[in-house]
Structure 1
Amino acid sequence: MATVKQFEDLEIWKLARVLCKEINKIANATGLRTDYKLYSQIDGSSGSVMDNIAEGFERNGNKEFIQFLSIAKASCGETRSQLYRVLDRNYVSNDEFMVLKDQTMVLSRMIGGFMNYLKKSDLKGSKYKAD
């Protein structure tokens, strides 16, 4: 196990960042950016995933970190739901949708797994062990 010293070391944060970047690419390549409400919602929810992971990590305690991870996981589900609207409005192909949907599902499972790990862990504070 490696010691995690900053949130940027967390695989879940890295994957959340990739998801956020992918959504931004779609917005720049399609009319999604002009669908202001949907774009604002999916940009906000995908950003919330990575931001809540970071904020929870910086709280330096497992209970608060788990709470923020729960919010990040919920935002991941919200992003997945919004992806259906992106698909239904023809901003992405079904193949592109499936890739993004799969990313959100993997990320959600990983966040949930990390929450379970922290609940059982004796480690507290700003250093965590990660696989």
Structure 2
Amino acid sequence: MDFEKLDVWKRSARLSADIYKALHGLNDRGFKDQITRAGLSIPCNIAEGMSRRTARDKIHFLLIAKGSCAELRTQAYIGVDIGYLAGDTGQYWIQETREIAAMLSGLINRLKQDSSG
């Protein structure tokens, strides 16, 4: 399956682009680098995983993407608390990471079922 056709990849790539746009003018390079890397890691690991041959390899990279969702969600909470993110932006990113993580769980479960049956 081409990763470009996956809704989870499309959605996570859009979220990553949103993060870069929203934080374009942020002067705190440490925070900016960390949160943009976490956001970018999600679609990149989906792409890399879905380009692998075995279900085990695919799942490995999808789990990394799911971990990056948790990392990004944590950074969004902190970004709101320290005033780097508007509350509505932070809440949107938090909700997106929850939904993307759930979509990744569904994809992982499907890959597990397909490889066992």
- The two structures have a TM-score, normalised by structure 2, of 0.92
Higher strand share: 1
Q: Number of matched residues?
A: 116
Higher helix share: 2
Segments of structure 2 that go 5 or more residues without pairing to the other structure are none
**Structure 2 CA distance for aligned equivalents of residues 95 and 27 of structure 1:** 14
User: 1:26·1:91 contact (CA, 8 Å) conserved in 2?
Assistant: no
Larger relative contact order (Cα-Cα within 8 Å, sequence gap ≥ 6): 1
**Structure 1 CA distance for aligned equivalents of residues 84 and 22 of structure 2:** 8
1:15 corresponds to which of 11, 14, 18: 11
User: 2:55·2:115 contact (CA, 8 Å) conserved in 1?
Assistant: no
- The one-letter code matched in structure 2 to 1:75 is S
Partner of 1:48: 41
Segments of structure 1 that go 5 or more residues without pairing to the other structure are 124-131
Partner of 2:106: 113
Shift of 1:48: 0.7
The higher radius of gyration belongs to 1
**Structure 2 CA distance for aligned equivalents of residues 41 and 96 of structure 1:** 17
Partner of 1:94: 87
1:64 corresponds to which of 57, 60, 78: 57
Shift of 1:22: 1.2
1:24 corresponds to which of 13, 20, 35: 20
Find the residue that maps to 1:91 and give its secondary structure.
Answer: coil
- The two structures have a TM-score, normalised by structure 1, of 0.83
- The one-letter code matched in structure 1 to 2:72 is T
Percent identical: 34
Runs (4 or more) in structure 1 with deviation over 3 Å come to none
User: 1:7·1:54 contact (CA, 8 Å) conserved in 2?
Assistant: yes
